[in-house]
Amino acid sequence: MLSKKMETALNKQIALEGYASFLYLAMASWCDNEGFEGCANFMHRQSEEEKEHMLKIFHYISEVDGFALTPAIKKPPHTFKSIREMFQKVYAHEQKVTKSIHELVALSLSEKDHSTYNFLQWYVEEQREEENLMRTILDKIKLIGDGPQSLYYIDKEIEKINIAEEKAAAAEEGK
Ligand code: FEO
């Protein structure tokens, strides 16, 4: 049984994950429009992942007899100054999500809600991986440079990362 406080906080997290999904979808569209195919594929996959993160909490709330709420999603930005700026925004959003997950973990402890505490551990690990992935991408962009001649190579590098992520996810599913 969820406390009202925990239920409200988890519903807020649903909205945050939902916004991430829409933000990354908008980024995928911008990348497509700019001709960055690798980055577009990467952001589409990220968007789908965020939708799964949102639904996982949604189902969990129902499972523990709470009331999951479909969130209102605010309109995300649709244009970006550069690939570097876009990935900086992704990294900043992931840091915000991590902070929120950690606050949820702290709340589950103070509410003595061990079921939710256990449930949230998957998110703690996921956020560590996501932040690490975004830092790796930003490091690569820094290394390659993001002048006009470098954009092609950045896009190819992101495509490689995307394929590796897809393979890792498929392997995880096959376990
Ligand atoms: Fe589900 Fe990347 O936050």
Quick check: 109 pLDDT over 80? Answer: yes
> Among 65, 132, 56, which residue's Cα sits nearest to residue 94?
132
- Cα–chain center distance at 166: 15
Ligand 1 close to Cβ of residue 20 (< 6 A): yes
Task: Give pLDDT tens digits for 54-88.
Answer: 999 999 999 999 999 999 999 999 999 999 999 99
Per the structure, the complete domain to which residue 91 belongs is given by 4-174
Q: How far apart are CA 42 and CA 60, in angstroms?
A: 27
How many CA atoms lie within 13 Å of 164's alpha carbon, on the beta-carbon side?
7
Average pLDDT of the chain is 95
Q: Which atom of ligand 1 is nearest to the CA of 50?
A: 1
Total tally of structural domains belonging to the chain: 1
Task: Give pLDDT tens digits for 40-57.
Answer: 999 999 999 999 999 999
For residue 107, give the amino acid letter.
L
Tokens of 2: 């969820």
Per cent of the chain over pLDDT 90 is: 91
Place of tokens 């996959």: 45
Quick check: 175 pLDDT over 80? Answer: no
Ligand 1 close to Cβ of residue 7 (< 6 A): no
Task: Give pLDDT tens digits for 121-158.
Answer: 999 999 999 999 999 999 999 999 888 889 999 999 99
Minimum mean pLDDT range among 24-33, 104-113, 144-153: 144-153
Q: Residue 138, class by beta-carbon neighbours within 10 Å (0-12 exposed, 13-18 middle, 19+ buried)?
A: middle
Ligand 1 close to Cβ of residue 53 (< 6 A): yes
Which pTM does this prediction carry? Answer: 0.94
Cα 43 to averaged position of ligand 1 atoms, centre (Å): 12
Cα 80 to averaged position of ligand 1 atoms, centre (Å): 20
Tokens of 166: 């897809």
Ligand 1 close to Cβ of residue 93 (< 6 A): no
What is the CATH number for 66? 1.20.1260.10
Tokens of 147: 């002048």
Look at residue 82 in the predicted model and tell me its pLDDT. Answer: 94
